[in-house]
């Protein structure tokens, strides 16, 4: 029986891979130093650090977004199903949006606290938005990883294009 031929995606560049995995390190670091309570911001040096870190995070995110949009945002072949391309684009953009909203809502919280609004409905609103952004981001990253594993099963080269470990085997290979 003839084997089904799947068009293989070309690998992402070394720069794209380094940005993708390097950014995950920054993101995980950001999560490990997350705050549990608003009152922790009473420590002025912590508040200052949070604001500076959020600014750096935003600059890196925007630089990454511009770089990827100007180079190759996806290696999905142009003949892959339209729905698949659309879904991938929506999830990638939504990840950028939530990764943008986390530090910006955090900076609003920090500014409110700095200016003396330490509680009340405005503070509650931005805390809720901060939390929703974080949880939506987790959900999107989860979906993104499931999609990556799906592509690995499909053997279309998308996994290998970005992930340096647990390489997918070539379906045309004979053993």
Q: How far is the CB of 1 from ligand HEM (least distance, A)?
A: 29
What DSSP string runs through 106-121? Answer: HHHHHHHHHTT--SSH
Distance CA 56, CA 58 (A): 5
Distance CA 109, CA 103 (A): 10
HSE at residue 62, side-chain half, CA atoms within 13 A, is: 9
Tokens 């490990």 label which residue?
32
Which of 8, 47 has the CB closer to ligand HEM? 47
Give the footprint of ligand HEM on this chain (CB under 6 A). Answer: 20, 24, 27, 30-31, 34-35, 37-38, 41, 47, 50-51, 54, 57, 68, 73-76, 88, 92, 95-96, 102-103, 106-107, 109-110, 127, 130-131, 134-135, 141, 144-145, 148, 158-159, 161-163
Which of 78, 174 has the CB closer to ligand HEM? 78
Which of 72, 172 has the CB closer to ligand HEM? 72
Structure tokens at 94: 């939504």
Q: How far is the CB of 5 from ligand HEM (least distance, A)?
A: 20
């Amino acid at each position: 029986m003839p084997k089904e031929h799947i068009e293989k995606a070309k690998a992402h560049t070394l720069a794209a891979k380094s940005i993708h995995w390097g950014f995950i390190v920054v993101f995980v670091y950001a999560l490990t130093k997350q705050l549990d309570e608003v009152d922790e911001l009473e420590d002025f040096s912590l508040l200052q650090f949070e604001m500076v870190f959020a600014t750096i995070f935003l600059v890196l995110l925007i630089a990454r977004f511009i770089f990827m949009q100007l180079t190759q945002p996806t290696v999905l072949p142009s003949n892959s199903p339209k729905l698949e391309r659309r879904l991938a684009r929506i999830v990638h953009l939504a990840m950028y949006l939530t990764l943008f909203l986390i530090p910006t809502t955090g900076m609003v919280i920090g500014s409110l606290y700095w200016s003396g609004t330490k509680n009340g409905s405005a503070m509650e609103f931005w805390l809720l938005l901060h939390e929703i952004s974080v949880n939506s981001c987790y959900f999107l990253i989860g979906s993104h990883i499931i999609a990556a594993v799906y592509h690995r099963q499909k053997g279309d080269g998308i996994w290998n294009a970005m992930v340096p470990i647990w390489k997918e085997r070539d379906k045309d290979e004979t053993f």
